[in-house]
Amino acid sequence: MTERGAASSINLPGDFVERIRSARAVVVFTGAGISAESGVPTYRGGGGTITWRGLAPAELSSPRLLRSDPRMFWDWFLFRRGFLSTVEPNPGHCSIAQWEDRFKSFLLVTQNVDGLHAKAGSRSMVELHGNIWRNRCQSCNEAIADLADDPATTLPYCPCGGLIRPDVVLFGETLPARAWRSACEAAMTCDLFITIGTSAAVYPAAELPMIARRGGALMIEVNPEETDLSALSDVSLRGKAGEILPELSRSLFEGE
Protein backbone atom coordinates (compact mmCIF):
# COMPACT_ATOMS: atom_id res chain seq x y z
CA MET A 1 0.00 0.00 0.00
CA THR A 2 1.28 3.47 -0.75
CA GLU A 3 0.07 6.44 1.25
CA ARG A 4 0.77 9.76 -0.39
CA GLY A 5 0.44 12.64 2.04
CA ALA A 6 0.19 16.28 0.99
CA ALA A 7 3.52 18.14 0.91
CA SER A 8 5.14 18.16 4.34
CA SER A 9 2.16 16.71 6.16
CA ILE A 10 2.32 13.25 7.63
CA ASN A 11 -0.48 10.94 6.83
CA LEU A 12 0.40 7.63 8.45
CA PRO A 13 -2.33 5.08 9.04
CA GLY A 14 -2.68 4.22 12.74
CA ASP A 15 -1.16 0.77 12.55
CA PHE A 16 1.91 2.19 10.81
CA VAL A 17 2.64 4.40 13.82
CA GLU A 18 2.55 1.32 16.02
CA ARG A 19 4.61 -0.77 13.57
CA ILE A 20 7.29 1.92 13.43
CA ARG A 21 7.34 2.36 17.21
CA SER A 22 7.73 -1.35 17.79
CA ALA A 23 10.42 -1.89 15.13
CA ARG A 24 13.43 -3.68 16.58
CA ALA A 25 16.03 -3.17 13.86
CA VAL A 26 15.95 0.10 11.91
CA VAL A 27 18.01 1.29 8.96
CA VAL A 28 17.86 4.91 7.81
CA PHE A 29 19.34 5.42 4.34
CA THR A 30 20.07 9.00 3.32
CA GLY A 31 21.18 10.92 0.25
CA ALA A 32 21.90 14.49 -0.75
CA GLY A 33 18.28 15.60 -0.18
CA ILE A 34 18.69 15.42 3.61
CA SER A 35 21.29 18.21 3.37
CA ALA A 36 19.36 20.32 0.82
CA GLU A 37 17.73 22.44 3.53
CA SER A 38 21.16 23.13 5.00
CA GLY A 39 21.92 24.77 1.65
CA VAL A 40 23.99 21.92 0.20
CA PRO A 41 23.20 21.41 -3.50
CA THR A 42 22.11 17.94 -4.65
CA TYR A 43 23.86 15.98 -7.41
CA ARG A 44 21.04 15.34 -9.83
CA GLY A 45 17.65 15.86 -8.22
CA GLY A 46 15.52 18.40 -6.44
CA GLY A 47 16.34 21.65 -8.21
CA GLY A 48 19.40 22.73 -6.22
CA THR A 49 21.76 20.71 -8.40
CA ILE A 50 25.35 21.96 -8.41
CA THR A 51 27.62 22.87 -11.32
CA TRP A 52 31.11 24.38 -11.10
CA ARG A 53 33.00 26.04 -13.97
CA GLY A 54 30.14 24.82 -16.17
CA LEU A 55 30.70 21.17 -15.31
CA ALA A 56 28.40 18.68 -13.55
CA PRO A 57 29.53 16.70 -10.48
CA ALA A 58 29.81 13.48 -12.53
CA GLU A 59 32.54 15.14 -14.65
CA LEU A 60 34.29 16.74 -11.67
CA SER A 61 34.21 13.93 -9.11
CA SER A 62 35.70 11.53 -11.60
CA PRO A 63 38.83 9.37 -11.77
CA ARG A 64 39.41 10.83 -15.23
CA LEU A 65 39.74 14.40 -13.90
CA LEU A 66 41.87 13.18 -10.98
CA ARG A 67 44.29 11.64 -13.51
CA SER A 68 44.21 14.34 -16.17
CA ASP A 69 44.04 17.51 -14.06
CA PRO A 70 44.72 16.92 -10.35
CA ARG A 71 44.95 20.70 -9.80
CA MET A 72 41.39 21.26 -11.04
CA PHE A 73 40.22 18.16 -9.16
CA TRP A 74 41.61 19.53 -5.90
CA ASP A 75 40.21 23.02 -6.60
CA TRP A 76 36.71 21.52 -7.00
CA PHE A 77 37.01 19.81 -3.62
CA LEU A 78 38.52 22.90 -1.94
CA PHE A 79 35.62 24.94 -3.29
CA ARG A 80 33.20 22.46 -1.74
CA ARG A 81 35.06 22.24 1.56
CA GLY A 82 35.00 26.04 1.76
CA PHE A 83 31.27 26.08 1.17
CA LEU A 84 30.53 23.14 3.49
CA SER A 85 32.47 24.79 6.32
CA THR A 86 29.73 27.46 6.39
CA VAL A 87 26.68 25.18 6.67
CA GLU A 88 24.96 23.51 9.62
CA PRO A 89 22.84 20.39 10.11
CA ASN A 90 19.10 20.99 9.74
CA PRO A 91 16.15 19.56 11.74
CA GLY A 92 16.15 16.49 9.47
CA HIS A 93 19.70 15.52 10.49
CA CYS A 94 18.86 16.25 14.14
CA SER A 95 15.73 14.05 14.10
CA ILE A 96 17.72 11.11 12.74
CA ALA A 97 20.38 11.58 15.43
CA GLN A 98 17.63 11.38 18.06
CA TRP A 99 16.18 8.15 16.65
CA GLU A 100 19.42 6.30 17.41
CA ASP A 101 18.44 5.68 21.05
CA ARG A 102 14.79 4.89 20.34
CA PHE A 103 15.28 1.47 18.78
CA LYS A 104 16.99 -1.73 19.93
CA SER A 105 19.18 -1.74 16.82
CA PHE A 106 19.76 1.27 14.59
CA LEU A 107 22.10 2.03 11.70
CA LEU A 108 22.30 5.19 9.63
CA VAL A 109 23.66 4.45 6.16
CA THR A 110 24.51 7.65 4.33
CA GLN A 111 25.71 8.27 0.80
CA ASN A 112 26.64 11.80 1.80
CA VAL A 113 30.23 12.96 2.15
CA ASP A 114 29.46 16.29 3.86
CA GLY A 115 29.84 15.18 7.51
CA LEU A 116 26.57 16.85 8.57
CA HIS A 117 25.09 13.70 10.15
CA ALA A 118 28.06 13.42 12.52
CA LYS A 119 27.82 17.15 13.25
CA ALA A 120 24.15 16.62 14.20
CA GLY A 121 25.21 13.90 16.67
CA SER A 122 24.72 10.64 14.71
CA ARG A 123 27.19 7.99 15.85
CA SER A 124 25.80 4.67 14.66
CA MET A 125 26.56 5.40 11.05
CA VAL A 126 28.36 4.21 7.94
CA GLU A 127 29.46 6.51 5.14
CA LEU A 128 29.23 4.57 1.87
CA HIS A 129 30.83 7.20 -0.35
CA GLY A 130 33.50 8.42 2.08
CA ASN A 131 33.93 11.79 3.71
CA ILE A 132 35.06 14.97 1.99
CA TRP A 133 36.95 16.16 5.09
CA ARG A 134 39.34 13.20 5.15
CA ASN A 135 42.32 12.64 2.85
CA ARG A 136 44.01 9.47 1.68
CA CYS A 137 46.83 8.48 -0.62
CA GLN A 138 45.74 7.49 -4.11
CA SER A 139 48.57 4.93 -4.33
CA CYS A 140 49.00 3.28 -0.92
CA ASN A 141 45.53 4.17 0.43
CA GLU A 142 46.98 5.42 3.74
CA ALA A 143 44.73 7.90 5.60
CA ILE A 144 46.53 11.24 5.92
CA ALA A 145 45.35 13.32 8.88
CA ASP A 146 47.58 16.37 8.42
CA LEU A 147 48.80 17.75 5.13
CA ALA A 148 52.32 19.14 5.09
CA ASP A 149 51.40 21.48 2.24
CA ASP A 150 48.38 23.68 1.64
CA PRO A 151 46.56 21.95 -1.25
CA ALA A 152 45.34 25.36 -2.45
CA THR A 153 48.88 26.16 -3.55
CA THR A 154 50.79 22.87 -3.67
CA LEU A 155 49.44 19.47 -4.66
CA PRO A 156 49.98 17.19 -1.64
CA TYR A 157 52.01 13.98 -1.99
CA CYS A 158 52.39 10.99 0.33
CA PRO A 159 55.85 9.79 1.46
CA CYS A 160 55.25 6.82 -0.91
CA GLY A 161 55.12 9.28 -3.82
CA GLY A 162 51.38 8.94 -4.47
CA LEU A 163 49.03 11.90 -4.79
CA ILE A 164 46.95 12.62 -1.69
CA ARG A 165 43.26 13.16 -2.46
CA PRO A 166 39.96 13.63 -0.62
CA ASP A 167 38.69 10.30 0.75
CA VAL A 168 35.49 10.07 -1.29
CA VAL A 169 34.27 7.34 -3.65
CA LEU A 170 34.34 8.38 -7.31
CA PHE A 171 32.42 6.62 -10.10
CA GLY A 172 34.09 3.32 -10.96
CA GLU A 173 35.77 3.10 -7.54
CA THR A 174 34.77 0.48 -5.02
CA LEU A 175 32.92 1.37 -1.84
CA PRO A 176 34.75 0.99 1.51
CA ALA A 177 34.44 -2.75 2.15
CA ARG A 178 33.56 -2.66 5.84
CA ALA A 179 30.94 0.08 5.43
CA TRP A 180 29.33 -1.79 2.53
CA ARG A 181 29.28 -5.09 4.44
CA SER A 182 27.71 -3.46 7.52
CA ALA A 183 25.09 -1.74 5.35
CA CYS A 184 24.17 -4.98 3.55
CA GLU A 185 23.90 -6.96 6.78
CA ALA A 186 21.74 -4.29 8.39
CA ALA A 187 19.49 -4.04 5.30
CA MET A 188 19.05 -7.83 5.20
CA THR A 189 18.01 -8.10 8.83
CA CYS A 190 16.09 -4.88 9.55
CA ASP A 191 12.34 -4.73 10.01
CA LEU A 192 12.06 -1.01 9.17
CA PHE A 193 13.96 0.71 6.33
CA ILE A 194 13.55 4.48 5.90
CA THR A 195 14.94 6.07 2.74
CA ILE A 196 15.41 9.84 2.84
CA GLY A 197 16.40 12.31 0.11
CA THR A 198 17.99 10.08 -2.47
CA SER A 199 17.26 9.59 -6.16
CA ALA A 200 18.48 5.99 -5.67
CA ALA A 201 20.18 6.24 -9.05
CA VAL A 202 23.69 5.30 -7.95
CA TYR A 203 24.73 1.69 -7.44
CA PRO A 204 25.53 -0.38 -5.50
CA ALA A 205 24.04 1.88 -2.77
CA ALA A 206 20.64 1.81 -4.51
CA GLU A 207 20.51 -1.97 -4.03
CA LEU A 208 20.10 -1.56 -0.26
CA PRO A 209 16.36 -0.76 -0.32
CA MET A 210 15.82 -3.79 -2.58
CA ILE A 211 17.75 -5.99 -0.16
CA ALA A 212 15.61 -4.70 2.74
CA ARG A 213 12.42 -5.25 0.77
CA ARG A 214 13.40 -8.84 -0.01
CA GLY A 215 14.03 -9.35 3.73
CA GLY A 216 10.45 -8.24 4.46
CA ALA A 217 11.15 -4.82 6.03
CA LEU A 218 8.51 -2.11 6.25
CA MET A 219 9.63 0.51 3.71
CA ILE A 220 9.15 4.27 4.12
CA GLU A 221 10.39 6.90 1.69
CA VAL A 222 10.75 10.63 2.42
CA ASN A 223 11.26 12.72 -0.72
CA PRO A 224 9.40 15.67 -2.30
CA GLU A 225 9.60 13.86 -5.65
CA GLU A 226 8.70 10.40 -6.86
CA THR A 227 11.70 8.10 -7.37
CA ASP A 228 12.33 4.55 -8.56
CA LEU A 229 11.96 3.55 -4.91
CA SER A 230 8.44 4.91 -4.55
CA ALA A 231 6.85 1.78 -6.02
CA LEU A 232 8.90 -0.34 -3.62
CA SER A 233 7.79 1.64 -0.56
CA ASP A 234 4.85 0.94 1.74
CA VAL A 235 4.57 4.65 2.50
CA SER A 236 5.91 7.62 0.51
CA LEU A 237 5.95 10.84 2.52
CA ARG A 238 6.09 13.67 0.01
CA GLY A 239 7.84 16.72 1.35
CA LYS A 240 11.09 18.12 2.65
CA ALA A 241 13.05 16.01 5.10
CA GLY A 242 13.66 19.00 7.39
CA GLU A 243 9.89 19.36 7.82
CA ILE A 244 8.70 15.74 7.59
CA LEU A 245 11.24 14.16 9.97
CA PRO A 246 10.58 16.38 13.01
CA GLU A 247 6.85 15.83 12.40
CA LEU A 248 7.42 12.09 12.22
CA SER A 249 9.35 12.24 15.52
CA ARG A 250 6.46 14.10 17.13
CA SER A 251 3.88 11.59 15.85
CA LEU A 252 5.95 8.66 17.05
CA PHE A 253 7.53 9.73 20.30
CA GLU A 254 5.77 12.78 21.74
CA GLY A 255 4.15 12.13 25.09
CA GLU A 256 6.24 9.04 25.82
Residues near Zn ion, by CB under 5 A: 137, 139-140, 142, 158, 160, 162
For Zn ion, give the closer residue by CB, 51 or 141: 141
Nearest one of 116, 128, 125, 130 to 202, comparing CA atoms: 128
Instruction: Identify which of residues 142 and 225 has a Cβ nearer to Zn ion in the complex.
Output: 142
Distance CA 170, CA 188 (A): 26
Which amino acids are annotated catalytic?
129
Kindly state whether residue 44 participates in binding ligand BJW, applying the rule CB under 6 A.
Answer: yes
Interface residue with ligand BJW, options 38, 111, 122, 236 (CB under 6 A): 111
Closest approach, Cβ 104 to ligand BJW, in A, equals 27
Alpha carbon distances (Å) from 92 to 40, 182, 190: 13, 23, 21
Task: Determine which residue in the list 84, 94, 127, 129 makes contact with ligand BJW, applying CB under 6 A.
Answer: 129
Smallest separation (angstroms) from ligand BJW to the CB of 26: 18
Question: Count residues contacting ligand BJW (CB under 6 A)?
Answer: 35
**Least CB distance to Zn ion at residue 162 (A):** 4
Q: Which residues bind ligand BJW (CB under 6 A)?
A: 31-33, 36-37, 42-46, 57, 61, 111, 113, 129, 168-169, 171-174, 197-199, 201-204, 222-225, 227, 240-241
